[in-house]
Structure 1
Amino acid sequence: MHPKILKRGRAACPLRIEVPSVLPDEIRVVPMKSGSESQDLIIAGDRPAPRKTAGKRLAGWEFREEPKDADQPFFLYIASTEADFEAVDALWEAVYGEECGWLPAAEGPRHKDRYDAQSTYLLARAEGRVVGTMRLVEDGADGLPIEQFVAIDDLRGPRRRLIECQRLMILPEYRNRRYDQMPYGVLAALVKGCIHWCVVHNATHIVADLFTETATTPIAPLVALGFEETGKEFIDTELEGSGRSIALLLRVAELFSRPFRTSASFYRYLNEYDSTVDVYH
């Protein structure tokens, strides 16, 4: 505080004004005791300076990961148990085998090959039943499965981390169903899980190999999502009579950033928190 003496007009009427270092909420006038030599007035704040808030926790900023109920009837998750991989093989038999007639005779699990160690299978459960799957293969020393049929060296780059999305299968009776928990269907739920998985695992680009001669090929919806044609065509010789396939490429950041550039609810759905999706570990 620094006292100052002010004069009012010609008559000497000294006032002592004490200016607080921090501006108070209220200012009050306090008269001096009677009998003093001067009629001084003290102007002072009646509240102390506020306490410093440095180091205090910001409300709502602390991250707490919420647990997911793995037993709920609608769920999108990573295959990890023997039962999960049996469900993957059952989907292969139902879709690639019974429906399409592409599976050659084989012994042992259908899903296992030399890329198994670098693969992640997503599973979609609806109404308590596993109804869809998608395989995500990380780039490694053996390359990607698509390179058995066509070269993709030009799709790689110093700042790119590729994964391949393949073996997308959904049971026929669930392909066009919508649920409150999966408002855009099983395919969209699998795409959502794929994008979330890619962000967590730092994948920058997705290579998708798709059949062109099937009535249910997802080429059109994936192009709408931002996948671009690469001009690469090939025949998947692992499947008998599957016909021609093409490779599409997606920059993950393009799809992930779309909710920032549009109010369309579908793109919000792809990025928002979802109690039925658990692909983060």
Structure 2
Amino acid sequence: MYLAENDADLAAVDMLWNAVYGTEFGWLPPKGGPRHKDRYDDHSTYLMVRVGHQVVGTMRLVVDSAEGLPVEQFVGVDEYRLPGRRLIECQRLMILRDHRNQRFPGLPYGVLGGLVKACVHWCVRNGMTHILADLFTETPTTPIAPLKALGFIETGKEFIDTELEQAGTSIALLLDVGELFSRPFRTSHPFYRYLMEYDEIVDVYH
């Protein structure tokens, strides 16, 4: 797990977007130039997962800024901007089909678990207090259930992501990072130990 830092990494982000949202699901409208380039790109961090020599997963983290958050193209989230809070939106979570629902050495909860761990680690290192997740509701690959089990709560905000073609309904979930860190004191589930324990493959210290 690592952060995209150079042109080759960002080309891999575009490769994943084209492979999953484009070839597999047919959601991407035609576009010239890099897929990831938009008004939020300067406020974005891209988490990457590589298995062997192949990049297999990514998640985009967008910090709240004067540009707002991507979800605000469709629904308002001003009520979550309370004093002392620092919001981030995680979106565009993609894992290559052949690497979903598999576990690997160093990724005991699979690529999704690794991306969640990297996201939480990055948010803590950068002082983020709340994470908004923008998720599809109707796809067989949606991670709504595991994220709700982790502590994300439904906001009731449903919308259509009109940036994509025929992607169906999406929903916004919200996680209080402090609540997440209190969970290990109230449950013995090993996933929380995995989230908090030292991990030499998490290279997201920026």
- TM bucket, shorter chain: over 0.9
Normalising by structure 2, we get a TM-score of 0.98
Structure 2: distance between partners of 1:179 and 1:102 = 29
Give the secondary-structure state (helix, strand or coil) at the position aligned to 1:123: strand
**Highest RCO, 1 vs 2 (Cα 8 Å, sep ≥ 6):** 2
1:250-261 → structure 2 map (5 Å cutoff): 250-261=175-186
Matches within 5 A, 1:188-267: 188-267=113-192
User: Which residue does 1:274 correspond to in 2?
Assistant: 199
Which residue does 1:179 correspond to in 2? 104
**After the TM superposition, which of the residue ranges 251-260 and 110-119 deviates more from structure 2?**
251-260
**Aligned residue pair count:** 206
Gap regions ≥5 residues in structure 2? none
Deviations 1:145-203 (A, max 9, x none): 11011111111101211000000000011011111210110000000000000000100
Task: Output the amino acid matched with 1:186.
Answer: V
Provide the rounded CA distance (Å) in 2 between the counterparts of 1:262 and 1:214. Answer: 30
User: Which has more radius of gyration?
Assistant: 1
Map of 2:20 onto structure 1: 95
C-alpha separation in 2, matches of 1:120 and 1:179: 24
Amino acid at match of 1:165: C
> What are the Cα deviations for residues 93-134 of structure 1, in whole angstroms up to 9, with x where unaligned?
100001110000000000110000000000001122100000
Aligned match for 2:63, one of 118, 138, 150: 138
- Deviation, 1:258, is 2.0
The equivalent of 1:14 in structure 2 is none
Kindly, what percent of the aligned residue pairs are identical?
A: 70
The residue identity in structure 2 corresponding to 1:167 is R
Instruction: Give the ranges of 4+ consecutive aligned residues of structure 1 lying more than 3 Å apart after TM superposition.
Output: none
What is the deviation of 1:262?
Answer: 2.8
After TM superposition, give the deviation of residue 257 of structure 1 in Å.
Answer: 2.7
- The whole-number CA distance in structure 2 between the counterparts of 1:112 and 1:188 is 26
- 2:103 match: secondary structure: coil
Following superposition of structure 1 onto structure 2, how do residues 121-132 of structure 1 map, counting pairs within 5 Å? Answer: 121-132=46-57
- Which deviations, in whole Å up to 9, do the C-alpha atoms of 1:70-106 show, x marking residues without a partner? xxxxxx0100011100100000110000111000000
